[in-house]
Amino acid sequence: FPFAQLVIFSMIFTNFRDRKSPYRIYLWSLLIAGIVLLVTFTSSLLVVGVDSISNMYYPTYTAISRVEVMKIGRLEILSATIFSLGGFVKISSHIFAICIGLTKIFKCSDYRFIVVPVTLLLINQAYFTWDSAMSFYEFDGEMMLYFAFPFRTIFPIILLIAGRLKKNSRLVGME
């Protein structure tokens, strides 16, 4: 579920000056991301077709390669560049959130010293876990739903409830 990235962003963006700003930012970003995903999926579906889209790993790339705009051609190079940059930003934000979480768990003052070891561990883990991109997609299609469900839904709900209880206990203690 692509909207589960809110969990990552809630770890990264923890300090806001105005308390109402996180809700507004999260709602707007959720709305914009939903619209972008809807437009991208719908356009890919209309260009490639229902039968073909279910058998492809990158249907948007295939759809862009079939579109010709004013004899420019080769739009898939731009698409591949955008996919690569998007993947880099996503991986970097995940690594950043992991480093922030580890420094909070181990009560360290700075996260920067742990970035290189965490990155090297993740590279090794990815290398030893999957033989190829296709084996990752098989895992993603078959097992990721069961693996990621607790981390994307149950744990955030538990953390939300715990945060509300902690906030209410502070308010009761102040009275």
The neighbour count for residue 90, using CB atoms within 10 Å, is 12
According to the model, what pLDDT value does residue 19 have? 65
**Whether 94 contacts 82, CB under 8 Å:** no
Cα Rg of the chain (Å, integer) = 20
According to the model, what pLDDT value does residue 144 have? 80
AA identity, residue 38: L
According to the model, what pLDDT value does residue 113 have? 92
According to the model, what pLDDT value does residue 59 have? 85
Q: What is the pLDDT of residues 98-115, one digit of tens each?
A: 999 899 889 988 889 999
Which residues does the chain have with pLDDT short of 50? none
According to the model, what pLDDT value does residue 119 have? 95
Spatial separation of the C-alpha atoms in residues 99 and 163, rounded to whole Å = 21
